[in-house]
Amino acid sequence: MNIKITGTGSYIPETIKKNENFNENIFLNTDGSLINNENDVIIEKFKAITGIAERRYASPDLTSSDLGFFAAEKAIANANIDKEDLDYIIVAHNFGDVKHDAVQSDLLPCLASRVKHSLRIKNPKCVAYDILFGCPGWIEGVIQAHAFIKAGIAKKCLVIGSETLSRVVDKHDRDSMIYSDGAGAAVIEPSDENGGILAHETGSYTYDEAYYLFFGKSNNQELCKDTRYIKMDGRKIYEFALTNVPDAMKTCLEKSGKSINDVKKIFIHQANEKMDEAIVKRFYKLFKMQPPEGIMPMSIQNLGNSSVATVPTLFDLVINNKLPNQSLSKGDVIIFASVGGGMHINAIVYQV
């Protein structure tokens, strides 16, 4: 039985936040001291490392579950299925619904229940649940959907990745410029066509690495110490990802039975342009090769890092020919890969 992505959809917020919009921020070190650089220098260095020139923020009236609902509607329409036939709705996120200018996350009910409610699905047999797995959450949701279908307990699954990271950033932290909002979704179901999910690989590294990404207080020591923001140890994440992600991708490719020469595209979590380029280069080095030109579609330059939404959004853009100089054809072999908070790593080898 072949299990394929039969429909995709994404929601990219309309509000654009450009790098120059951060010129008024007061960036501080973790100890609260002022960074010894002008903001234009800080921003220029940031762009050189991450590749990000602008990012998207959700409008104040929308929450993460709203974005997920918009992406889900498109994926269901694209798959041309009856929404009542869905067996599972799996929503990957990290912070739940955080309302604009709020300091508290709302997870009751879970986001998947909210999305199902918004879709107006009556069928109680359609099970809706959330997955908290850091940035690799959407890929892990696809792996779970694959398992449900393969086991015969589901026929149609909807997997969504949605996030509003702009609402959990510390404006005094340079890393706040990385994060963005968005949502991507996919319908997974059995197919008579060739291809689909050929192999998958997942790992959780928690012994020393669990807190490389964490919830911490603002760099501004005068702000409330009980309010928490997304924080990370960028250097440790970079070193960890560079070693472990290529290995996971290689293991997954070997399990699939496909050759490195069969790979047409690599859809990697849009975390940091330089890090992603280094990961792909290291991956090909394992095969004593250089990455082919155009192997790695990128959206981070204009969309930023929307965590669980980056991979499904990027795939939706490419599969629908909405990203310049990037396209896919029937039969193409691709790799999905991600790394993020936990620390978790996963990969899927997929044939279009």
∠ CA 79-80-84, rounded to 5°:
100
pLDDT at 164: 97
State the burial class of residue 301 (Cβ atoms within 10 Å of its Cβ: 0-12, 13-18, 19+). middle
Segment 155-205, tens digit of pLDDT: 999 999 999 999 999 999 999 999 999 999 999 999 998 999 999 999 999
- Predicted local distance difference test score (pLDDT) of residue 103: 80
Mean pLDDT of 262-290: 96
Position 317 pLDDT exceeds 90: yes
Structure tokens belonging to residue 347: 């990969």
Q: Is the pLDDT of residue 226 over 90?
A: no
Question: Percentage of the chain surpassing pLDDT 90?
Answer: 90
Q: Which two tokens stand for residue 243?
A: 């070693």
The per-residue DSSP string of 165-192 comes to: GGGS--TTSGGGGTB-EEEEEEEEEEES
pLDDT at 132: 97
Is the pLDDT at 329 greater than 90? The verdict is yes
Residue 206 CB burial class (10 angstroms; 0-12, 13-18, ≥19): exposed
pLDDT at residue 37 in the model: 86
44-55, pLDDT tens digit by residue? 999 999 999 999
What's the whole-number average pLDDT of the chain? 95
pLDDT at 223: 87
Identify the structural domains of the chain with CATH numbers, from first to last.
2-193 (3.40.47.10), 197-351 (3.40.47.10)
Look at residue 104 and tell me whether its pLDDT is greater than 90.
no
Name the pLDDT band for 67 (thresholds 50, 70, 90): very high
Average pLDDT over residues 307-335: 95
Cβ–Cβ < 8 Å for 98, 169: no
pLDDT higher than threshold 90 for residue 224: no
Least confident of 68-77, 101-110, 187-196: 101-110
The answer to whether the CB of 121 falls within 8 A of the CB of 76 is no
Q: What is the pTM of this model?
A: 0.94
Write down the pLDDT at residue 50.
93
User: 108-153: per-residue pLDDT in tens?
Assistant: 999 999 999 999 999 999 999 999 999 999 999 999 999 999 999 9
Confidence of residue 36 (pLDDT cuts 50, 70, 90): confident
